[in-house]
Structure 1
Amino acid sequence: MKQYIYILALALIFSSCSSDDTSDPSNSNPSNFSANTTDLRFDGATIEWTDAIDPDGDNVTYAIILEGQEIASGGTTLVYSFSGLEPETNYEGYVEARDGNGGTSRADFFFTTEPEVIIMNVEIEYRSWTGAGGYGIVAYFEVPAVDNAVSYFLEILDYTPDVIPSNVGRTYSWTPDDNLPQGNNVGSGASHLVEYTPGIYHANTSTSSGPLSGFSDVENYYASIVANAQLTITVGE
């Protein structure tokens, strides 16, 4: 009786092992193929790959592995887009072709995500000051500092009423490390860039000064200016 139980146990173990092994010794792996990155973003990337042909005519599906983690499988398309990634970060992984009978082949890929870019519109403002000697007034675009910013780029898109030479198309660029004029420094004229207060940048477009008798008319003109600019901020580590 004991011998019968022992033989039965062996049979069950052998049967279990056999059912778990789905690979076919005569099965051929899908052909070699290649993958490449076609689009990079600060929070993602897109990869494409060539078709893996199975010599046995099996249907091939693809799995996507990124940083050792399988994040998609069972697909038949030849493109995949990653999202939710970290900016300025190196990633590597591979696409695995599977024929459903245990045969596989793989194509490696790697990429580095772009720096984060913030794009926004800012509108024109003006500030003025008066004293015994007269008045001063300046029109400007205000840009607050952004944490981990690497660079700033501002381009004027619209400006009404405009002057000659035109303000439209004028650009300003700077980095947090630039040694900019401080405080209420308006420079010698238009296109002057200052750090008005710590962490607040002013891209000046025009300035005026004169006796107090003319201040009211000049202020009305500055108040009538309607203008906007596109601000692009590159953010890094």
Structure 2
Amino acid sequence: MASTSYDRNGVGARGGAFDNAQPGFPAYNRRIANPGPLGLYAFAVTTFIWSLFAVHTRRVYESELGLAMSLAVGGLVQLLAGMWAFPTGNTFAATMFSIYGAFYLSLGIIYWPGSGLIDSYLASHDLNRAMGIYLTGWFVLTTLMFFAAFRASITLVLLFFSMMMGFMLGMIGEYLASYRIMKASAAFGFITTFLAFWLGSSGLFTREHHFFQLPVGHQLRNRNTDTVV
């Protein structure tokens, strides 16, 4: 695991500021602003809107606005947050935001009428099975991210568990063409949204800039060296 040391003035070993502004992730030495809240908020609000459309909130059956959110917010903004996380040395955050930004970009392309992807499956009636295969890949990836999050924070582990369950139920729902299972998947989407908003807010509501700090669960630290292990 990565580690960060710092002097008495809070300056990192490589001259950057000691970063503990995002308690949901391990602490890292950085020179730029923390991209964590931006990436988490972009992911959370896009997941929230897609989940609302999935359960046909207010009897809205068309999800074109979800497409716009996927391309602009969940896709582009989250991908940018992932790129900005690389200079901080936070490999986990960079991987998380980049890959799930790509997920929302790909989802937007799938449902974009101009791509023709949905129409290409209508004649063969293979759309549900194809989407099941698509979600299977994301379920496997999210399972790996779930295990990789164990040394970060409890809230982050719960976030990936909720995402993993959402992808699993979405995968099963597509294979069986079951709307009820898809609604169960959307329910985990709402849980994921809450956890992502909580983690994102924990990076903004800090003791340095606010009156309180949101708890996210304990990180494992070496008490003698103040190093994340």
Question: Which bracket does the TM-score occupy, shorter chain normalised?
Answer: under 0.3
Instruction: Give me the TM-score of the superposition, normalised by structure 1.
Output: 0.24
Q: What TM-score does the superposition give when structure 2 sets the normalisation length? A: 0.25
Report which of the two has the higher share of strand.
1
- Structure 1 or 2, whichever has the larger Rg, is 1
Higher relative contact order (CA 8 A, sep 6+): 2
